[in-house]
């Protein structure tokens, strides 16, 4: 269904979300029967999508991660210049990259 492609996945279980149609309004809901998370209320289609997709904490974390990745790139440059191949420093760098989801 094309409409669900506009919805982010469920923040709790990661399942696809779907729009439930009321009489002439909509509600977004998780499609996983064991979860069925939703945002209370009925909305226009556009509002239901916007409300479901609004994730202030996710957005803030994404911004923080982007800043940390930028700092990490700076540290990598620094360490590669100054660590003299120190294996501990390089291992720490690799573990930090993994923690930030970089491969």
Burial class (CB in 10 A: 0-12, 13-18, 19+), 51: middle
Contact residues toward Zn ion (CB under 5 A) are 10, 12-13, 15, 30, 32, 35, 37
**DSSP class of 23:** S
- Which CB atom, from 41 or from 100, has the smaller least distance to Zn ion? 41
Nearest approach, Cβ of residue 74 and Zn ion (Å):
38
**Which DSSP state fits 54?**
-
* Residue 53 or 83 having the CB closest to Zn ion: 53
| C-beta closer to Zn ion: residue 35 or 93 | 35
**What is the nearest approach in angstroms of Zn ion to the Cβ of residue 14?**
7
């Amino acid at each position: 269904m094309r409409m669900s492609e506009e919805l982010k996945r469920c923040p709790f279980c990661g399942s696809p979300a779907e729009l439930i149609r009321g009489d002439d309004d909509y509600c977004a809901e998780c499609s996983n029967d064991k979860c069925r998370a939703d945002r209370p209320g009925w909305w226009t289609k556009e509002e239901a999508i916007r409300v479901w997709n609004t994730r202030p904490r996710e957005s803030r974390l994404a911004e923080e991660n982007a800043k940390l990745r930028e700092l990490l790139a700076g540290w990598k440059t620094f360490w590669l210049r100054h660590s003299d191949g120190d294996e501990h420093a390089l291992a720490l760098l690799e573990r930090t990259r993994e923690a930030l989801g970089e491969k």
